């Protein structure tokens, strides 16, 4: 109870917590001397530290981890808050606008940086493959994924097929590759080139396979939405946020970190990385809360889950973990419901 009290008070005040402050609000009558002894023991075990002599104590990274794992209770958002999230996000008219609004809303709720990723192209599955001749050998390829993403690429065909061959190829791809991972689409189309059906346009089919392979290798970080940097600098009580803000510029790093935290989430579906657990020097004084949304399956027969995308919050280690986790979870649940309703 002493550790919980210290962590909660430090999160509230951003100031070192003394024994008198803990004793004052302790649920049972305990002397300040007893609290001091308990705090000294917690310091000896590495859960608290004393930044200055006689200035009270603050939680360590180990203390925060124990608090999050063992002591804290994540209270769900109130009905009014939940309705507010649904009402605000229901005003969106597209997946992109929904994700942008979700980031802005989460930043407003937490007062921290919010990050929302659109479904990664390589992890998505094919819903529809289309190809349009634009004349003079130029073709437009359009992919619609199960995450609601629409990708387009143009390429100049070395040897353009006739309209009949093109239609036959499009239908064959949609039949053979429906719900196939986009990351394997290029390889699947390459295998189709060996079919005698496409003997007269084999070179074209192989060219399309290369276009699809390049598309699936798109840079991580594409389709990420950030909000709340200005709020973070204004209200965290942290004097130097430069390294944290610099880290946010490295979108590939953020994408990998948030994905890893989402995959390590607890039973409630929300993962937390504190300080050094982020494996980033720039985030040594920060914590990351992240949750997956739109979880599907990699293999319908095996039922293995795959992460489509994530929603998360980045703030100082003294963030309000309970409130942040509740907000992240609520937004993630809405986004999962949204992509399900849209049939992605």
pLDDT digits (tens, 9 = 90+) for 290-335: 999 876 544 443 344 455 689 999 999 999 999 999 999 999 999 9
Query: Which has the closest alpha carbon to 208: 135, 133, 136?
Result: 133
* pLDDT on residue 238: 54
Please give the residue that has the higher pLDDT: either 123 or 88. 88
Does domain 2-71 correspond to CATH entry 3.60.20.10?
Answer: no
CA atoms within 13 A on the CB side of 234: 10
pLDDT of residue 219 exceeding 90: no
Please give the residue that has the higher pLDDT: either 273 or 224. 273
pLDDT of residue 8 exceeding 90: yes
| 122-216 CATH choice from 3.30.390.60, 3.40.190.10, 3.30.420.40, 3.30.70.100 | 3.30.390.60
Over the chain, what is the mean pLDDT?
86
Cβ(197)–Cβ(223) below 8 Å: no
User: H-helix or E-strand containing 68?
Assistant: none
* pLDDT on residue 277: 94
Backbone angles phi, psi at 289, to 5 degrees: -120, 125
CA atoms within 13 A on the CB side of 304: 5
Write down the domain spans for the chain. Answer: 2-71, 79-120+223-341, 122-216
According to DSSP, the β-strands at 309-316 and 138-145 are unpaired
> Residue 116 pairs with which residues in a beta bridge?
225, 311
Place of tokens 């061959």: 165
Band the pLDDT of 70: cuts 50, 70, 90: very high
Tokens coding 88: 């605000």
pLDDT of residue 93 exceeding 60: yes
Mean pLDDT calculated for residue range 68-84: 89
Cβ(176)–Cβ(188) below 8 Å: yes
Q: Domain 79-120+223-341 is of which CATH architecture?
A: 2-Layer Sandwich (3.30)
The span from the CA of 247 to the CA of 251, in Å, is 8
For residue range 237-256, list pLDDT tens digits in order. Answer: 555 566 777 777 777 778 88
Mean pLDDT calculated for residue range 70-76: 88
For residue range 161-206, list pLDDT tens digits in order. Answer: 999 999 999 999 999 999 998 889 999 999 999 999 999 999 999 9
* pLDDT on residue 207: 96
The DSSP string of 125-169 is BEEEEEEEEEETTEEEEEEEETTS-EEEEEEE-SSPPPHHHHHHH
* pLDDT on residue 232: 66
Cβ(110)–Cβ(104) below 8 Å: no
The DSSP string of 206-238 is HHHHHHHHHHHTPPTTTTEEEE-HHHHHHHS--
Cβ(182)–Cβ(121) below 8 Å: yes
pLDDT of residue 215 exceeding 60: yes
Mean pLDDT calculated for residue range 44-68: 91
- Which long-range contacts does 235-244 make (Cβ < 8 Å, 24+ apart)? 235/111, 236/14, 236/111, 236/112, 236/315, 236/316, 237/14, 237/316, 237/318, 238/285, 238/316, 243/281, 243/282, 243/283, 243/284, 243/285, 244/282, 244/283, 244/285, 244/286, 244/314
Please give the residue that has the higher pLDDT: either 74 or 115. 115
For residue range 81-92, list pLDDT tens digits in order. Answer: 889 999 999 998
């Amino acid at each position: 109870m002493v550790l919980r009290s210290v962590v909660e008070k430090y999160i509230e005040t951003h100031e070192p917590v003394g024994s008198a402050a803990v004793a004052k609000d302790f649920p049972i009558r305990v002397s300040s001397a007893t609290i001091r002894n308990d705090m000294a023991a917690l310091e000896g075990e590495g859960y608290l530290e004393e930044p200055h002599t006689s200035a009270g104590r603050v939680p360590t990274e180990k203390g925060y981890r124990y608090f999050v794992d063992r002591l804290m209770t994540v209270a769900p958002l109130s009905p009014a808050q939940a309705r507010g999230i649904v009402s605000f996000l229901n005003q969106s008219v597209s997946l992109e606008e929904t994700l942008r609004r979700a980031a802005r809303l989460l930043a407003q709720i937490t007062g921290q940086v919010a990050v929302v990723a659109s479904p990664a192209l390589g992890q998505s599955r094919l819903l529809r493959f289309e190809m349009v001749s634009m004349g003079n050998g130029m073709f437009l390829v359009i992919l619609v994924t199960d995450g609601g993403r629409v990708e387009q690429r143009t390429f100049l065909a070395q040897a353009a097929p006739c309209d009949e061959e093109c239609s036959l190829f499009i239908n064959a791809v949609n039949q053979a590759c429906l719900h196939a991972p986009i990351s394997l689409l290029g390889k699947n189309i390459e295998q189709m080139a060996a079919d005698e059906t496409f003997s007269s346009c084999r070179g074209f089919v192989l060219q399309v396979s290369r276009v699809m392979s390049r598309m699936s290798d798109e840079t991580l970080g594409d389709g990420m939405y950030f909000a709340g940097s200005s709020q973070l600098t204004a209200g965290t009580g942290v004097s130097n946020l430069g390294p944290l803000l610099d880290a946010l510029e490295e979108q590939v790093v953020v994408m990998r970190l948030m994905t890893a935290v989402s995959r390590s989430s607890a039973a409630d579906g929300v993962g937390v990385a504190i300080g050094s657990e982020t494996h980033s020097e720039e985030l040594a004084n920060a914590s990351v809360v992240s949750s997956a949304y739109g979880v599907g399956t990699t293999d319908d027969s095996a039922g293995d889950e795959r992460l489509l995308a994530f929603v998360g919050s980045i703030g100082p280690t003294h963030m309000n973990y309970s409130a942040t986790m509740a907000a992240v979870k609520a937004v993630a649940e809405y986004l999962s419901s949204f992509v399900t309703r849209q049939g992605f």
